[in-house]
Amino acid sequence: MTTVFVSHPQSKLAHYFGDRATAALQAIADVRFNPGETDLSSQELAALAQDCDVIISYRQTLGDEALFAALPRLKAFVRCAIDIRNIDVPAASRHGVLVTQASAGFIASVSEWIIGVMIDLSRHISASVALYQAGQPVVPVMGRELRGATLGVIGYGQISRYLCDVALALGMGIVVSDPHTPTGRQELVQTDLTQLLKEADYVVCLAAATEATENMMNAQAFAAMKPGAFFINASRGNLVDEDALLQALDAGILAGCALDVGRAPDQMPSARVALHPRVIATPHIGGLTLPAIEHQAMETVAQVAEIMQGRAPKGAVNAQQAHRWQQASGVPKLA
């Protein structure tokens, strides 16, 4: 029987894999779990997964050269998410290990988080609640409506498409900046980043984290924003120069900011940014809803089932180079 090791710390298993996926996985494989409450180093994981065929990876679990070299039986390293930056794919390929990723299950949940913080920032909800709970005087502040405002979306992927539909239903105008993906929609204005920053009342960062987008929101970008606009990051902390963000907040260029990601461990917002009085920070919960988690976890289980049947699953990123699962299943190596 195929042996699968799930690397999620015990405290993260229910939230980031779930009971339904665990039961489904146990029905098709011999399943072992990370016995502790912390992320495993490559050495620790190699010791625990020595005779395992598949590793299902938590987001902090490194799939590096040392791990693949230490596990000659390992056939697949299965990532229970889209982001595979924790995996050295070339190293996996050199050792013949298949790498897979899940598709986006959090399109609606992240979009709803964005709409929620846009309303929160616009109506001073969190700020008022904090004052009330601290027993301090609360002065009513004039709010803004989303209707009639301009939403600027950086990056036009699956979340952006869904978010734009919701924003249109709320009566917002929309400008999009993505040099690689045309929207193909007349109701959306596609422009360059500089023009988007100049026009948008709400700038939402949804670009992918790559070398090209590292610190794309820097001092120059924040200076180009419409005075009094809001900045929202639901992508990755790597895209934002935090010093520049804090300077823009202190200078009053930005009216406020909302972050679900940052440069702290596990993509959490950094404490120094989260403490700013005009920042709403949440602990990377945009995709933390049961439907979103179950989508990716159940897809991961389906990928394991496909691998057991000798088929490259949807989501495989190096099927041509990963020879171990092909040899074990008796299928010819892909050309």
User: How many domains does one find in the chain?
Assistant: 2
Question: Which amino acid belongs to residue 200?
Answer: A
Contact between 195 and 175 under an 8 Å Cβ cutoff? The reply is yes
Question: Per the domain annotation, does 163 fall within a domain?
Answer: yes
Rg of the chain, C-alpha, whole Å: 22
- 247 by Cβ neighbours in 10 Å (0-12 / 13-18 / 19+) ranks as middle
Can you give the CATH number for the domain in which 150 is found? 3.40.50.720
Judgement on whether residues 191 and 237 belong to the same structural domain of the protein: yes
Domain stop point among 281, 299, 318: 281
Beta bridge partners of 54: 4, 76
Question: Per the domain annotation, does 132 fall within a domain?
Answer: yes
The rounded distance, in Å, linking the Cα atoms of 237 and 250 is 20
The model's pTM is: 0.89
> pLDDT grade, residue 329 (50/70/90)?
low
Judgement on whether residues 33 and 148 belong to the same structural domain of the protein: no
The closest alpha carbon to 153, from 118, 105, 125, belongs to 118
Q: Is the pLDDT of residue 332 over 60?
A: no
Give the residue numbers spanning the domain of 155. Answer: 107-281
The rounded distance, in Å, linking the Cα atoms of 85 and 101 is 11
> pLDDT grade, residue 209 (50/70/90)?
confident
Judgement on whether residues 91 and 79 belong to the same structural domain of the protein: yes
Judgement on whether residues 119 and 182 belong to the same structural domain of the protein: yes
Domain stop point among 242, 264, 281: 281
Q: Is the pLDDT of residue 335 over 90?
A: no
Judgement on whether residues 308 and 206 belong to the same structural domain of the protein: no
The closest alpha carbon to 289, from 129, 90, 111, belongs to 111
Judgement on whether residues 124 and 235 belong to the same structural domain of the protein: yes
pLDDT given at position 210: 86
The rounded distance, in Å, linking the Cα atoms of 27 and 34 is 19
Question: Per the domain annotation, does 74 fall within a domain?
Answer: yes
Contact between 182 and 206 under an 8 Å Cβ cutoff? The reply is no
Question: Per the domain annotation, does 61 fall within a domain?
Answer: yes
Judgement on whether residues 111 and 101 belong to the same structural domain of the protein: no
pLDDT given at position 167: 98
End-to-end distance of the chain based on CA atoms, in angstroms? 28
Judgement on whether residues 271 and 261 belong to the same structural domain of the protein: yes
Question: Per the domain annotation, does 334 fall within a domain?
Answer: no
Q: Is the pLDDT of residue 107 over 90?
A: yes
CA dihedral 318, 332, 307, 52 (to 10 degrees): -90
Judgement on whether residues 80 and 46 belong to the same structural domain of the protein: yes
Task: Please give the structure tokens belonging to residue 258.
Answer: 């909302």
DSSP labels, 173-213: EEEEE-SS-----TTSEE--HHHHHHH-SEEEE-----TTT
Rounded to the nearest integer, the mean pLDDT of the chain is: 94
Question: Per the domain annotation, does 75 fall within a domain?
Answer: yes
Question: Per the domain annotation, does 240 fall within a domain?
Answer: yes
Judgement on whether residues 299 and 261 belong to the same structural domain of the protein: no
DSSP labels, 221-258: HHHHSPTTEEEEE-S-GGGB-HHHHHHHHHTTSEEEEE
Question: Per the domain annotation, does 335 fall within a domain?
Answer: no
Judgement on whether residues 309 and 215 belong to the same structural domain of the protein: no
pLDDT tens-digit readout, 25-78: 999 999 999 999 999 999 999 999 999 999 999 988 999 999 999 999 999 999
pLDDT given at position 334: 46
Judgement on whether residues 96 and 11 belong to the same structural domain of the protein: yes
